[in-house]
Structure 1
Amino acid sequence: MIEVWLIPLLALACLGFAVACWVFWRRQRHHIRQVVALHQDVVESAEASAFGQRVSRRSLSTELGELGGTINLLFDALASKDAQMRQREFLFQELAHAVPDLVLVHRERILFANSVAADPVGLETEQLVGRPVTDLMRPAFRAMMRNVIAAQLAEEHSDKSIEFQLINGGEQGTWVEARSTMIDYRGQQAILTVAQDITYRKSIEATLGRSKQQAQITLESIGEGVITADTQGAIEYLNSAAEKLIGTERQAALGKRLGEIVNLVDEGDRRDLGDPVIRCLTDRRRISVGSRALMVSYDGKTELSIEMTASPIKSPDGSITGAVVIVHDVSEVRGLAQQMSYQAAHDPLTGLINRREFERRLEQSLHSVRDEESSHVLCYLDLDRFKVVNDTCGHMAGDNLLRELSAIIKDQVRDSDFVARLGGDEFGMLLMGCPLLKARQIADDAIRAVHDYRFVWQDRIFNVGVSIGLVEIGRESGTIQEILSAADSACYIAKQQGRGQAHVYSVRDEVSARQRGEIHWLGLLQDALKEDKFEIYSQPIISLSGTEHDGPAVEVLLRLRDQDNNVVLPKQFIQAAERYQLMVSVDQWMVQATLAAIGQGAIRLPKGRSCSINISGQTLNEGSFLEFVVDCLDHSQVNPGQICFEVDESAIMGDFDNARRFIGVLHGMGCQFGLDDFGRGIGSFTSLQGLSIDFLKIDGAYTSDLHEDSLNHQVVTAITRLSKTVGFKVIAEQVEEQEDFDALRKVGVDYVQGYYVQHPQKL
């Protein structure tokens, strides 16, 4: 229980406490009002961003007055910072609008965009603010951009640029290359994206891409192998053709050197040709592998004849950045070239070397005897009684006989010797390093072997022989033509001695030849060729129907002037020209002179008509003459259709295959062909159908006295009818009388020439 006296004291204490509480409440209420007022001022300033506004301190207590002063200092600092930020933002925006690049500040949506960003979509910059960034680009790129934005906001920074197309209303959007970085923009993290217009670059890249694709397609399409290598020779690329040629898959070849995949060797001596790529890079120049290169696989199972070039790849400053190799498979071409080379050097009928190759080897033998202590022997062989077989049984029998005799003659010589068919039924043997006594023994063996041989054709048996002229080749020997002429003269004497003989050339033979007059004609012919002393005469050929618009209108004839300026007819010098192998030169002169005469207007031809030129059998069998004629035609202004070559029937039958080739090539160029002196072998009509013959010229022996000689009349009639059956037109030569002219017209001959029409006239 409380003491009574304590009650007043307690009451007084409670009253004092109450008074104290009332006083504290009054004072606190005043402070709270000041704090609330101060708070209101600060909030209003913040909401208005009026950082320069002042807080009133007059109604504040001392403590709150100090706080208000501090707040005013803070407002001053904030006001300064705000001004700086606004200035920087102003400068940033001015700069962004001034640059030619697209500038964006954004998160997922745009916070700021310059005019370059707004122009393509046709909006104002303010209209872009708040729109998704992806609205600016083509749909194909939007997912990529969203991933980039997400990575940037997740602070997965990347220095890589991205490329995309803007939407600009056109079919081809503007291409830009953009880079982004994080910045603080108006108090928040944002992405600054700057994009450069790369439309032109992309266009160039597209063009280059198409070019590269086209180049790639081209490289994959061409037949040549293409290989590129780096500066160390390691393969970087090879096309499909190269893959097939080297026999290695692309992936297996990459990174390896060419020399690690294939070997290059010479097809002749098999010597190693090395790696052309390494040589090219080392020598800094183009390297071509030899024309006889073989590419051999490392296992040695495959070989290819190739042509290969390796060229350095140079940069604009001249430094080498690698090499490119072109590989061409020439197996077929080289095989064809070898075949053509063989054909050019060999007689197609017998397989022996031909005259041109024989003369080439004879030339080599001449050089060897002058450089070494050795001698050789040339044998000139002429078959006896061959014409009997050819005329009796036809050219097929003659061809078989020549083939069999060629084998027999070749069996008589040594492996080091050469046997050639020089033309018709003439052969040559070149006995290398052979003493004259041994050569005479070989010649006698050949004569005996041919004599003992019996040729059987359709139950008929023939025996032939051979006459041989020998000449020793030593340091004092003359030219090839002189050696051949000497051997031919010796062969001629062997025939005069009774055939089936061998005769060794001596100086006395030359005296004998002079006595026969051949050396005289030889000198005259050589002088005419050298001094251009031949003359051309022409004789017209007329159409009996009067309606012919093709065929020969004139024939050119060769004449020669002797020392006394007398005109010499061909029959006086042709034999010597043939014996001394000058007919080819004579015919070449005639072709050139005729083409010149036509080109210069000395020979005028009616439209569609041609000029006839005679070609000897010796020339026809000379392989190089065809090339000569083609070259002359190519370099003249004369249409090949204005030329008609006349060849003798016997010349064609002597070397049918060569004649067919000669006629076929020139006929294909437009030249015409006539068969001269036809009628001496009517049995050859069937074979002639396989030749491109346009005209048959009936031998003059049948056209003379036609009106009186019934046999000739029947022959001419038969030839004319047969000719028309197979499509040949007929020319009658040596027509000298009106009666013969009229008879030929009735028979149906197409053309005539002869003294009745006109004597030959000098051009």
Structure 2
Amino acid sequence: YQAVTLSISDITSRKRIELSLIERERFWSEVVRSVPDLLYVHDMQNQQVLFSNHSLGLQLGYSVGELKAMAGDFWEQVLHPDDSDYYWRIRNLQKVVGDGLLLESVLRWRHRDGQWRWFSIREQALARDDRGRVSRLIGVAKDITEQIERNQSLRDSEQRYRLLAESISDVIVSTDDSLNLNYVSPSVEAMLGYDAEWVTTNGLQGLAANPQQLASLYQLLERIRDSLGERDRLECLREELPDQLFVFDCLRADGHKIPVELRLVLMWDENGRFGGILGVGRDISQQRRAEKDLRMAATVFEHSNAAILVTDPAGYIVQVNKAFSRVSGYSAGQVLDQLPGMLTADRQQAAHLQYILGQLNQRGSWEGEVWLKRKGGENFPAWVGITAVHDEEGDLVSYVCFFSDISERKASEQRIHRLAYHDALTHLPNRTLFQDRLHSALQHAERHDEWVVLMFLDLDRFKPINDSLGHAAGDRMLKDVAVRLSACVDGDDTVARMGGDEFTLLLQPRATREGALNRAIHVAEQILSSLARPFVLEGREFFVTASIGIALAPQDGNELSQLMKNADTAMYHAKERGKNNFQFYQADMNASALERLELESDLRHAQEQGQFVLYYQPQFSGDGCRLTGVEALLRWSHPIRGLVPPDEFIPVLEELGLVVQVGEWVLEEACRQLKAWHEEKIRIPKISVNLSARQFAEGDLTTRIAAILTRTEVPPACLEVELTESILMRDVDSAMQTLSELKHLGLCIAVDDFGTGYSSLNYLKQFPIDVLKIDRSFVDGLPDGEQDAQIARAIIAMAHSLNMMVIAEGVESHAQLDFLREHGCDEVQGYLLGRPMPARQLTAQFSGAALFILS
């Protein structure tokens, strides 16, 4: 070294400056770091981010290293594609602009998690090149995503509420915080006929039909207006007036008034400041009408003369009116939560109730006449209407039932009907009703191939009595005649007064011409006999007779007018024959009638003259080898006619009322004969006697039979009584009682003609029956008739299962006997084994050894 030059300079000042700069840089660096906004410096030449603060990475989710790595393509990675073109166009302009603000916009940047966030961007020039162009710029970004979303939510909410306000029928109105009307929903035009702009301009006072009705509304507005500048008073209003309701009449644009309900609420912002008034106006015309209808319905319900009850869908009563209690006798408390069945009369048929329910299900309502029952048990006719009530969805909510007592109306209708169809004097059917019944009878008879009897009756010698004693006495006689005529016929026959002293009779149809003829003869005889008794008028006896004409359909005409004309002709023929008689329209029937009269006359004397005799038909064991009993059969030994078959005279005995008397004679004679056989050592175990329906219905039948058994000294076990199925089924309860009495007496009970009637097997099981008798109609077809064979086998099996014996009647061939024996029939009778015969013949045939050995 030649020399070292040392220069020492005092750099304290410079160091102090450097330290100050370092300190200042550290300070501003910390300031930039702590600023919550995003700061960045962008190089315009190479389009790179030269600097970004900590907040940028923090808010976008990138680390410092990631930000450095993406410095060259930062904008390509974070800018939203829709904002990119706009941003770069602005950048190109930034190069040539002067000082001041270069960009202020709202852009979307992508977060590291892929979501887009909104940022408010503000960029300014930081440096320029030598040509004055911006070379660097500094940007400040602020995350406004939540603000954007809040604003969008607010806009969406406002849009929804606006759409709601515009779509509902109610009118929405609002004011600003100065109470100036600032919104009216478009629905005001549909309600009132004014558009929203007109209402906004003219206010509510332009709508009021009666401004006085708005006085309370104006008072509220005035109170609010006075409180606008005073927060304390507004707070009081907020507590006192959560909402207010006003009702007033609005005048529509077409001049009609409608009632409107306006509900107002005070609006407050989130800071508790008054924001205006919100109102909802509603047309309450329909509500007013509904309220009016409800008031009217309630008035009708409570004051109606008709009883009304309301039930729930299950049928339980939930409400009744006063008339219900008055008509039914039940108080409301006694029927609530009960079923209406307590009102149903016992006579009401279950099938009819099911029909009513069916109508309710199908049509929703039913109306008609039914019988109901009061609390005290009294039945009464009622007119009832029932309606099913449904809600808007069609679901059943209740049943409404009204009913009224129509007893008086029914009585009035019956009185009117009686006046229209019955004779005022005798109360018999008049000509109109009689012709209606005759017409119906002719139609029925034609359909069923039956015979109808029509009788015309005219009193003989009534006019002189009526003229001499006066009409009052004549009327009394006619009323007495009506009573006597009615007593000569059955309940289903018709006696009518045609006018004056003319009467007509319609007898119920008969299956055969002979049956109709016999019935007509019997009734005509009864009438003539009844009228033969004297009529007592004014303390004196008077006598009248009658001429009767009889016509039968179809032989004398199927037409009503023709039949009546022919009966009238026959009646005049009776008058020509000397009156006090009856004549048929057909001459041959008069001969039959004469023969019938003679038969009746002879029958009346047959018993006292000893013309009735008993024949006895033997009954055998099932193999036909052993005599087990006899059946007593009534015969009429007429001195001229000879032996009259029973089917010719027994029905006449029934009509003449002699069958009980003759039947008792048969019982006693049969028992007397059995006793005689026993005394002669003829071993006949039992005797069977048929009982008629009238005999069986006599109340003292058991007593009479017991007396006969005592008189004849016949053990009860030796007497068997035979009854038909129809007799037993006519009155089951009474038959059960009588059979029990006969069984208690010790008799054997048999059912005759079994299989031809309609007896229930249940009753058959309960009746104390010992023997079933197979009818001859089934035996006739044996053994070849498959159906008859099946019936016979079934009867035998059934009887044995019920511990009954079986006897078959009408056995006329060995093949029939073999079939019955093979299938276990207990006893048989018929022409093959023995015909009905007098007692002396049976005595000769079955005495001694012949009793057990038959050829």
Q: Normalization by structure 2: what TM-score?
A: 0.38
Q: 1 or 2 for the larger relative contact order (CA 8 Å, sep ≥6)?
A: 1
Structure of higher CA gyration radius: 2
